[in-house]
Amino acid sequence: MDWKGWKDALIDVVFPGECPICEQGAYRNDGAFACLSCLDELLWINGARCKKCGESMPVPVSIELICSNCREFPLSILSVRSMFKLNEQGRALIHSIKYGGVKRVMGDAPHWFHRNRGFINFIKDAVLIPVPLHRRKMRSRGFNQSLWIAEEFAKVAGGRTVVYDCLERVRSTPSQTKLSRNERRNNVKNAFALRAGTCLDGFNEFVLIDDVYTTGSTLDACAEVLLKSGYPKVRAATMGHG
């Protein structure tokens, strides 16, 4: 066992954890917090996808199409890339980060990138901008999972990839979970703004980062802030796609 393996083993003794998917012991395989066999059970999005929202599409890889949802509800974002579909295993992984606050799960990011071809190229050398929480939710939760994700993505991507936490949620909004697509759009309209003193001059490529893509309403509301500020090249990347 190398030094990292010993460190992971020691951490797990002092701060015991468990694989967020099968709930057995953490760090059982190759330094990964989650079991590698559990990660294999996620529905990784490779091959053909909607060129706007990144949804998997049952067409030949060489064909780029726009899905029916994106045709009916066009996005301001240039394109979205997600790592995996939200099956039971994917939801469990994200739940451990978003609601469990298990930041050590983020250390598995290199294993995620390995399973999703092209994802690293989608974010590399871009400015990664996490979707913000409202200050009340931030006080209650104590962390922003989207910032955690952005920081780990930037670390793995390397190059000139940077994280700029430059958006703020200026209006507290109800949960989107039970809202329709139109209700979601109205719910987050004008809910975001650039933080005072933000300067993005000199940057060209921007990728919004969130944990999950569902209808794209939240990401699009964030993108519109950047677009109105004169920054046209806005894309988005998430862990899960609902």
Task: Express each pLDDT in 107-117 by its tens digit.
Answer: 999 999 999 98
Strand extents, DSSP E, 32-141: 43-44, 80-85, 127-130
Which pairing describes strands 80-85 and 192-194: parallel, antiparallel, or unpaired? Answer: unpaired
CA distance 85 to 82: 8
d(C-alpha 129, C-alpha 147), whole Å = 8
Element (H, E) at 213: strand 206-213
Residue 150 buriedness (CB in 10 A; 0-12 / 13-18 / 19+): buried
How many Å separate Cα 85 from the centre of its chain? Answer: 12
Is the whole-model pTM more than 0.85?
Answer: yes
**Mean of the per-residue pLDDT values for the chain?**
90
**What whole-number distance in Å separates Cα of residue 4 and Cα of residue 7?**
5
Q: Model confidence over 196-239: pLDDT tens digits?
A: 999 999 999 999 999 999 999 999 999 999 999 999 899 999 99
In contact, 241 and 54? CB cutoff 8 Å: yes
| Other C-beta atoms lying within 10 Å of the C-beta of residue 166 | 19
Residue closest to 47 by CA, chosen among 103, 4, 85:
85
Predicted confidence at residue 15, as pLDDT, reads: 45
pLDDT digits (tens, 9 = 90+) for 77-87: 999 999 999 99
pLDDT of amino acid 59: 76
pLDDT > 70? residue 5: no
